[in-house]
Chains A and B, each alone.
Chain A
Amino acid sequence: MDNRLPTEFDVVVIGTGLPESILAAACSRSGQRVLHLDSRSYYGGNWASFSFSGLLSWLKEYQQNSDIGEESTAAWQDMIHETEEGITLRKKDETIQHTEVFCYASQDMDGNIEETDDLQKNPSWVASSTLIKPLDSACLSEEMHSLYVSSYEVPAKGTPENNGEVTDIAETLVKEENCGYKTYKHRVSDGAKDEIKPILEDNSDPPKRNRITYSQIVEEGRRFNIDLVSKLLYSQGLLIDLLIKSNVSRYAEFKNVTRILAFREGKVEQVPCSRADVFNSKELTMVEKRMLMKFLTFCLDYEQHPDEYQAFTQCSFSEYLKTKKLTPSLQHFVLHSIAMMSESSCTTIEGLKATKNFLQCLGKFGNTPFLFPLYGQGEIPQCFCRMCAVFGGIYCLRHKVQCLVVDKESGRCKAIIDHLGQRINAKYFIVEDSYLSEETCSNVQYEQISRAVLITDQSILKTDSDQQISILIVPPVEPGACAVRVTELCSSTMTCMKDTCLVHLTCSSSKTAREDLESVVKKLFTPYAETEIDKEELAKPRLLWALYFNMRDSSGVSRSSYNGLPSNVYVCTGPDCGLGNEHAVKQAETLFKEIFPSEEFCPPPPNPEDVFFDGDDKQPESLGANTIIIAQLESSEGSKNLESSEKHLQN
């Protein structure tokens, strides 16, 4: 296949994360010739979702990053004229750190074995993370791109090259027992029940739990769509508005988050937030119901009642809540689960605003304010890419860009040179910040996001239905620390296999992801073991598999902190730590307005019946190549107008 691309474009977009994809769609929609490139083999960058094996390869890539770096590069220097200079781009991604993988699920290669009588035969095994170099997050040199490298290997039957891996794993296990997950290990062997286990097993009939083995997870790996960033869509947020307005919503399907949960006094409980929830709640007393509804109703139009909060504008929101005759549990619900604010730092006004925002989103598509895209968050950037392609954008994955070519005189970027040494000219360049070199970024300070991805065997709050999508905020134990956001997805979201839950934990980092999140994981889950440990542990869902990693959060970086970027090179940031996608959408819209101040941002696509091609006869036969576009617009999804696309969203 000829990889040669056309050489003239209006806009070149590098990186397929959400803001870049929205921008690409917006540019293409407004008639620009768009080339959209990504050096990776998948869409979405750090916004991507992976199947289980995809995630394992992704992990591997970070482990092997150092090797890839030395790929031969066509000498781009030759392509540059005397009046020009090149700004090199980074060769490898360095936004992910501290990846650590733990597997607790049974390693039976034969999935039919029901019970094993010796715990030691099936210890929870953990892939170790070997510290290669000491961590110093403040300076990230090129050599230190991968500080922790997971020695983890794919042991699946399905992957042929790993047939002889079993011993390898065993070794890993031994190693892990020494260095790894001591606490868990400790618990398991400490449990006095270990000795008396056989007796217990005969007499008691513990509630039947689905037994999921690691090989099942690998076999069913394609059922998983594991998000790198865990986000939800606010029903009345910018992203939903944009999806509906631009009609991109037709490319995606959503499910309503079904529950808002709270973690209080060691217990997970459901937060009543809608009218129906409050009505049905068995936990709240009548008076609590009234006080909660009264407060929430007030928040919906708090601006109209300044006398209700004016005296408290200097207080924190949690102080303010104490004055509202709400019981402690209601205060907790409002502060952490509804406003999703921290105890110490949130002012009354901020809290009221957040509560209002939450409440306004309620009831639009369901009883909670949030939507989750089926098949994972990674679908969203792809939907915008599809929109871009419908309007003529050209896509190229696995396509590296070596440098930006800058005209010395005007100081503007003129072209890029790709890894094949091809020079592609354009007027505007949009670059995701992970592509910028150290030189460009030498003054930039980054935040970090701590992430954990868990596969568990049941929900953290069991109900009649096992198809729940839940969000839970776990407040920090020490004041000032960050709350941890937990989203739990069920199999009907098409992100995990049947009888498992996929759990995402997110917080802004203070240490490595594991150090930040492990305590919350321990509170909510118990490691998978063949035997039940005790009654209390029994109630918790069991961990089958866990991944920790840190992701760079560049959302706060301002354009001015980059060195020597031409004015027509626009920078998009990676994902932020927030729950919604407002940051990415706002960024895309702002940049678009900067580039094309007079163009509308992602206007609704025209009704197919109203589309024709200027200069052509009105005979459809003569439309030539462009008929494809029409055909796409008319695609049988039936959502010709916004109304129906909105309905589509509701389903």
Chain B
Amino acid sequence: MHGRLKVKTSEEQAEAKRLEREQKLKLYQSATQTVFQKRQAGELDESVLELTSQILGANPDFATLWNCRREVLQRLEVQKSPEELATLVKAELGFLESCLRVNPKSYGTWHHRCWLLGRLPEANWAQELELCARFLEVDERNFHCWDYRRFVAAQAAVPPAEELAFTDSLITRNFSNYSSWHYRSCLLPQLHPQPDSGPQGRLPEDVLLKELELVQNAFFTDPNDQSAWFYHRWLLGRADPQDALHCLHVSRDEACLTVSFSRPLLVGSRTETLLLLVDESPLAVAWRTPDGRNRPSHVWLCDLPATSLNDQLPQHTFRVIWTAGGAQKECVLLKGRQEGWCRDSATDEQLFRCELSVEKSTVLQSELESCKELQELEPENKWCLLTIILLMRALDPLHYEKETLQYFQTLKAVDPMRAAYLDDLRSKFLLENSVLKMEYAEVRVLHLGHKDLTVLCHLEQLLLITHLDLSHNRLRVLPPALAALRCLEVLQANDNTIESLDGVTNLPRLQELFLCNNRLQQPAVLQPLASCPRLVLLNLQGNPLCQAVGISEHLAELLPSVRSSLT
């Protein structure tokens, strides 16, 4: 039929497309080449701007070309008149916007815009805010744009209240928005600064309650949305604990001073400095970690010279000052005593409530009730279950222990992918509870048997323990941090799945070690035990290494003074 509308076949279309692509590629490559040549030759003029804009216009993620542009612009800045420069900047801003339209998540483009705006003496910040609003209108979760907005808001000194209202409007549209919640967590403390004495970065109660209501609305609407739960966690969280020295222990026998800190630190000449005053006079000592590795650690120790420990004075005082942390602690070694210490109480200092803590427990209590209400409706929601556990811990870890363990069980069943994490978390909580109970009992013996522990933590809190029972758990290692237990005399770790003994090292007072029914394979894993000078009894029954050829000889050689049982 003559004159009838016909459409190219798909082969024809594909061929046409291929040719077009080929053509494009040629242009792209030759332009790139020219730019590189000019850059090499130092010809940083407007023609480079033109060429790079052709390429970046199609592919804004070409970072090197943005660098080229910056070089050109920097050069032009000194060459051009202010009027010419203003035109240039205007063109650059327009070009950047067109690139953002090609790819609104281009790192290079946003960065270039930041760079450019930062150089302008009189940037039009209102226009930039408007640009952000427009891009967030299209995609309210574009974190590049959020990032840029924070930059602009800071530069333009936009009142935090206005920015907060902006986050409100976007959360209203779609609350599944990490960026928006996060921005709130930055803005609210600015809007409601706490008095100097209070913990920084927290909110006054009325604001907190309003935020809690908002976020509850979100997780009741969609309990599977993580962003709201994360914000909830932030709301209930507390400021980082203040730097402190938790425990100071001095031992005459070992001529050694041990310190435990609130956070791991690295002591050394170029890092943290610790000052030791013995009887109020400074003493230069060499600090090391208990395991001898000198990595960042909660616990550091030093050897003391005999003069600091002599019996001529009725007592010696030892004061350690942590200069950077602004903290210190003092302990006394009385005449005739083997050791002296000074320790913070875990209960009084709420050492284990770092996860969640709001000053008012009524707030936590009502949050717990809401979450339980939600949990009844959504028995399988992992976020809800986890939050309940954390709230219970913050409220009263010992009172809620049994309930917490039940929730852990449910949580593990509904979230098997994170079973190992949950086991570790549970172990941590149980250990914390045991430490608290031990403190009430005022003893130096810790029973952690039959608790299904998978990991040992908070070992830095156990500096003074003499007897530790870890039997019947699911431990796979005795970690290096165990070396901090400088007073440990008896360690029972039967019936675990221990494969390595890295932490049983440099324990000056360890005498008896029980490791029956574990998974120690090679005699070589026993090597660390050689560094425990007082070890006399070792039980290795039921370990694979008992079957190893020449094991008795190996033991006799490695630990000559130890009585070992293999069978």
Name A's B-contacting residues (CB within 8 A): 31, 275-276, 278-280, 286-287, 289-291, 293-294, 391, 606, 609-616, 624, 626, 629
> Quick check: is B182 within 8 A (CB to CB) of the other chain?
no
In the complex the two chains form, is A287's CB within 8 Å of B218's CB? no
Which B residues are CB-close (under 8 A) to A279? 172, 175, 217-218, 221-222
Apart from A286-B370, A293-B220, A611-B6, what are 20 other A-B pairs with CB-CB below 8 Å?
A: A275-B174, A279-B217, A279-B221, A289-B221, A290-B220, A291-B377, A294-B377, A294-B378, A391-B5, A606-B5, A611-B5, A612-B6, A613-B3, A613-B5, A614-B6, A615-B1, A615-B2, A615-B3, A616-B2, A616-B3
* Closest CB in chain B relative to A638 CB, distance in Å: 14
> Quick check: is B37 within 8 A (CB to CB) of the other chain?
no
* Closest CB in chain B relative to A547 CB, distance in Å: 38
Which A residues are CB-close (under 8 A) to B216? 286
In the complex the two chains form, is B172's CB within 8 Å of A280's CB? yes
Please measure, in the bound complex, the distance between the C-alpha atom of A31 and the C-alpha atom of B3, giving whole angstroms.
Answer: 12
Please measure, in the bound complex, the distance between the C-alpha atom of A614 and the C-alpha atom of B6, giving whole angstroms.
Answer: 6
Which B residues are CB-close (under 8 A) to A289? 217, 220-221
Which A residues are CB-close (under 8 A) to B12? 610
In the complex the two chains form, is B8's CB within 8 Å of A614's CB? no
> Quick check: is B7 within 8 A (CB to CB) of the other chain?
yes
Within 8 A of A (CB), among B365-385: 370, 373-374, 377-378
Which A residues are CB-close (under 8 A) to B4? 31, 613-615
> Quick check: is B345 within 8 A (CB to CB) of the other chain?
no
Q: Could you give 24 example pairs across A and B, Cβ below 8 Å?
A: A31-B4, A31-B5, A275-B221, A279-B172, A279-B175, A279-B217, A279-B218, A280-B217, A286-B216, A287-B377, A289-B217, A289-B220, A290-B377, A606-B7, A606-B8, A609-B16, A610-B13, A611-B5, A613-B4, A613-B5, A614-B1, A614-B4, A615-B1, A626-B3
A contacts with B: majority SS: helix
Which B residues are CB-close (under 8 A) to A278? 221
Please measure, in the bound complex, the distance between the C-alpha atom of A550 and the C-alpha atom of B221, giving whole angstroms.
Answer: 43
- Chain B 544-559: CB-based contact to A (< 8 A → 1; otherwise 0): 0000000000000000
In the complex the two chains form, is B3's CB within 8 Å of A276's CB? no
> Quick check: is B503 within 8 A (CB to CB) of the other chain?
no
**Number of residues on chain B facing chain A (CB within 8 A):** 27
* Closest CB in chain B relative to A33 CB, distance in Å: 12
Looking at A279, A613, A614, the one whose CB has the most chain B CB atoms below 10 A away is A279
Known: A613-B4, A626-B3. A287 touches B172 (CB 8 A): no
Which A residues are CB-close (under 8 A) to B38? none
Please measure, in the bound complex, the distance between the C-alpha atom of A295 and the C-alpha atom of B406, giving whole angstroms.
Answer: 28
* Closest CB in chain A relative to B165 CB, distance in Å: 14
> Quick check: is B223 within 8 A (CB to CB) of the other chain?
yes
Q: Residue A286 contacts which of B172, B174, B220 (CB distance < 8 angstroms)?
A: B220
Which A residues are CB-close (under 8 A) to B172? 276, 279-280
- Smallest CB-CB separation from B213: which chain A residue? A286
> Quick check: is B101 within 8 A (CB to CB) of the other chain?
no
* Closest CB in chain A relative to B226 CB, distance in Å: 15
Which B residues are CB-close (under 8 A) to A275? 174, 221-222
Please measure, in the bound complex, the distance between the C-alpha atom of A490 and the C-alpha atom of B374, giving whole angstroms.
Answer: 40
Please measure, in the bound complex, the distance between the C-alpha atom of A289 and the C-alpha atom of B221, giving whole angstroms.
Answer: 5
- Smallest CB-CB separation from A293: which chain B residue? B221
* Closest CB in chain A relative to B189 CB, distance in Å: 24
In the complex the two chains form, is A624's CB within 8 Å of B221's CB? no
In the complex the two chains form, is B217's CB within 8 Å of A624's CB? no
Within 8 A of A (CB), among B175-204: 175
- Chain B 416-442: CB-based contact to A (< 8 A → 1; otherwise 0): 000000000000000000000000000
Which A residues are CB-close (under 8 A) to B370? 286
The number of residue pairs between A and B whose CB atoms lie closer than 8 Å in the complex comes to 77
- Chain B 372-401: CB-based contact to A (< 8 A → 1; otherwise 0): 011001100000000000000000000000
In the complex the two chains form, is A290's CB within 8 Å of B223's CB? yes
> Quick check: is B80 within 8 A (CB to CB) of the other chain?
no
Please measure, in the bound complex, the distance between the C-alpha atom of A293 and the C-alpha atom of B220, giving whole angstroms.
Answer: 9
* Closest CB in chain B relative to A418 CB, distance in Å: 27
- Smallest CB-CB separation from B174: which chain A residue? A276
Within 8 A of A (CB), among B459-486: none
Looking at B2, B5, B8, B175, the one whose CB has the most chain A CB atoms below 10 A away is B5
Within 8 A of A (CB), among B522-555: none
Q: Residue B373 contacts which of A280, A287, A615, A626 (CB distance < 8 angstroms)?
A: A287
Which A residues are CB-close (under 8 A) to B173? 276
- Chain B 1-29: CB-based contact to A (< 8 A → 1; otherwise 0): 11111111000110010000000000000
Please measure, in the bound complex, the distance between the C-alpha atom of A275 and the C-alpha atom of B217, giving whole angstroms.
Answer: 11
* Closest CB in chain B relative to A641 CB, distance in Å: 13
Please measure, in the bound complex, the distance between the C-alpha atom of A286 and the C-alpha atom of B7, giving whole angstroms.
Answer: 58
Please measure, in the bound complex, the distance between the C-alpha atom of A276 and the C-alpha atom of B3, giving whole angstroms.
Answer: 54
Q: Residue B378 contacts which of A290, A609, A616, A626 (CB distance < 8 angstroms)?
A: A290
In the complex the two chains form, is A290's CB within 8 Å of B374's CB? yes
In the complex the two chains form, is A287's CB within 8 Å of B7's CB? no
- Smallest CB-CB separation from A624: which chain B residue? B3
In the complex the two chains form, is A614's CB within 8 Å of B373's CB? no
Please measure, in the bound complex, the distance between the C-alpha atom of A280 and the C-alpha atom of B4, giving whole angstroms.
Answer: 56
- Smallest CB-CB separation from B225: which chain A residue? A275
Please measure, in the bound complex, the distance between the C-alpha atom of A294 and the C-alpha atom of B376, giving whole angstroms.
Answer: 13
Please measure, in the bound complex, the distance between the C-alpha atom of A610 and the C-alpha atom of B172, giving whole angstroms.
Answer: 45
Which A residues are CB-close (under 8 A) to B175? 276, 279
Please measure, in the bound complex, the distance between the C-alpha atom of A615 and the C-alpha atom of B370, giving whole angstroms.
Answer: 76
In the complex the two chains form, is A629's CB within 8 Å of B5's CB? yes
Which A residues are CB-close (under 8 A) to B5? 31, 391, 606, 611, 613-614, 626, 629
Which B residues are CB-close (under 8 A) to A624? 3
- Chain B 339-364: CB-based contact to A (< 8 A → 1; otherwise 0): 00000000000000000000000000
* Closest CB in chain A relative to B50 CB, distance in Å: 26
Which A residues are CB-close (under 8 A) to B3? 613-616, 624, 626
Within 8 A of A (CB), among B138-185: 172-175
- Smallest CB-CB separation from B9: which chain A residue? A610
Please measure, in the bound complex, the distance between the C-alpha atom of A72 and the C-alpha atom of B517, giving whole angstroms.
Answer: 113
Which B residues are CB-close (under 8 A) to A606? 5, 7-8
Please list the 3 inter-chain residue pairs (A to B) with the smallest Cβ-Cβ separation, ordered nearest first.
A615-B2, A606-B7, A610-B8
* Closest CB in chain B relative to A307 CB, distance in Å: 16
Please measure, in the bound complex, the distance between the C-alpha atom of A523 and the C-alpha atom of B370, giving whole angstroms.
Answer: 39
- Smallest CB-CB separation from A367: which chain B residue? B173
In the complex the two chains form, is B221's CB within 8 Å of A290's CB? yes
Q: Residue B8 contacts which of A612, A613, A615, A626 (CB distance < 8 angstroms)?
A: A612
* Closest CB in chain B relative to A280 CB, distance in Å: 5
- Smallest CB-CB separation from A280: which chain B residue? B172
Which B residues are CB-close (under 8 A) to A290? 220-221, 223, 374, 377-378
* Closest CB in chain B relative to A293 CB, distance in Å: 5
Please measure, in the bound complex, the distance between the C-alpha atom of A280 and the C-alpha atom of B170, giving whole angstroms.
Answer: 12
Which B residues are CB-close (under 8 A) to A614? 1-6
Which B residues are CB-close (under 8 A) to A613? 3-6
In the complex the two chains form, is B222's CB within 8 Å of A293's CB? yes
Please measure, in the bound complex, the distance between the C-alpha atom of A629 and the C-alpha atom of B5, giving whole angstroms.
Answer: 9
In the complex the two chains form, is A286's CB within 8 Å of B217's CB? yes
Please measure, in the bound complex, the distance between the C-alpha atom of A294 and the C-alpha atom of B173, giving whole angstroms.
Answer: 20
* Closest CB in chain B relative to A577 CB, distance in Å: 35
- Smallest CB-CB separation from A392: which chain B residue? B5
Which B residues are CB-close (under 8 A) to A294? 377-378
* Closest CB in chain B relative to A611 CB, distance in Å: 6
* Closest CB in chain A relative to B484 CB, distance in Å: 46
* Closest CB in chain B relative to A295 CB, distance in Å: 11
Please measure, in the bound complex, the distance between the C-alpha atom of A278 and the C-alpha atom of B174, giving whole angstroms.
Answer: 11
Please measure, in the bound complex, the distance between the C-alpha atom of A290 and the C-alpha atom of B218, giving whole angstroms.
Answer: 10
Looking at A280, A286, A287, A293, the one whose CB has the most chain B CB atoms below 10 A away is A286
- Smallest CB-CB separation from B171: which chain A residue? A279
* Closest CB in chain B relative to A421 CB, distance in Å: 31
* Closest CB in chain B relative to A299 CB, distance in Å: 15
* Closest CB in chain A relative to B212 CB, distance in Å: 11
- Smallest CB-CB separation from B224: which chain A residue? A297
Please measure, in the bound complex, the distance between the C-alpha atom of A615 and the C-alpha atom of B7, giving whole angstroms.
Answer: 13
* Closest CB in chain B relative to A294 CB, distance in Å: 7
- Smallest CB-CB separation from A272: which chain B residue? B221
Which A residues are CB-close (under 8 A) to B8? 606, 610-612
